[in-house]
Chains A and B, each alone.
Chain A
C-alpha cells in the first residue's frame, strides 16, 4: 500500500477552522481514505473515512476531490485538545499503512 503525502506541520488559532490536506495521486478506485489522529502519549484514534463523497461526523468533515487524488480533513473549530499528529491513510486491503502525518499546533 503506497503512503500518502501530507505537510509536516500546520498551525491554527483556537476556535478557527483547520483544513489539513492530503495527496494520494496513485489511489485505486476501491481504496478508502482514512484519517486518524494521535494525541501525545496515546494510541491513534479514528477520525473519519470515505470513498468518493464528502463525509461528516461529530469530529470532522472529509472533503474528497472529484478525481480522488487528494482529500482534506476539516476541523470546523479547532480547540487546544485537537493538537495532535493527523494521519491520512489509503486503505485498500488488509494493511493500514501510516505515513509521517501532519503535526497540528493550536494556538490560544
Chain B
C-alpha cells in the first residue's frame, strides 16, 4: 500500500508565485486534511474535508485554497506565495466523517521555501 503520497517533497517559490501541493491516498478514506509545521512548533490545521465535494477551514486557512473532487485526492493551492508560508506541509487521511475513533495516516511532507 502506498498510503498517503505527497508531491513534491521539496519546492522553492518566489514571492507572488502560485502552486499546488498534491496529496493522494489509496485507502478509500473519507477524511483528509492539510497541516503546516513551522520550526519548533506542532502542526496547525489549514483545511480539511470529510468527503468529496465537502471542505472546511481549520486554524490557519488564509492564503490557501482546497477542493475535493475525488475521494483519493486533496490538493492544496497557494494563491500568491508569501515568505510567511515557508513551512513543512503535511497531508493526512482517515476513515469516517468526523469519527473520533480512528487513526490518521500522514504523508512524508512537502518542504516549501518562499523567497
- Chain A interface (Cβ < 8 Å from any Cβ of B): 30-32, 34, 36, 41-46, 49, 51, 85, 87, 91-101
The answer to whether A92 and B42 have CB atoms under 8 Å apart is: no
| Smallest CB gap from B105: residue in A | A46
Query: Residue among B45, B100, B108 with the most chain A CB within 10 A?
Result: B100
Contact with A97, one of B41, B59, B98, B101 (Cβ below 8 angstroms): B59
- B44 at the binding interface (Cβ < 8 Å): yes
- B35 at the binding interface (Cβ < 8 Å): yes
A-B contact pairs, 12 of them (CB 8 A): A42-B108, A43-B92, A45-B106, A46-B103, A49-B103, A87-B42, A92-B100, A93-B100, A94-B50, A96-B45, A98-B35, A98-B42
Task: State in angstroms the CA–CA spacing of A41 and B39 once bound together.
Answer: 11
- B74 at the binding interface (Cβ < 8 Å): no
Chain B residues with Cβ below 8 Å from A43 are 4, 90, 92, 106-109
| Smallest CB gap from A94: residue in B | B98
Query: Residue among B43, B48, B98 with the most chain A CB within 10 A?
Result: B43
A42-B108, A44-B90, A94-B48 are known contacts. Are A101 and B42 too (CB-CB below 8 A)?
Answer: yes
- B58 at the binding interface (Cβ < 8 Å): yes
| Smallest CB gap from A103: residue in B | B40
Chain A residues with Cβ below 8 Å from B31 are 94
Chain A residues with Cβ below 8 Å from B4 are 43
Chain A residues with Cβ below 8 Å from B71 are none
Contact with B43, one of A32, A45, A98 (Cβ below 8 angstroms): A98
Query: Residue among A31, A44, A97 with the most chain B CB within 10 A?
Result: A44
Q: How far is the CB of B64 from chain A (nearest CB, A)?
A: 16
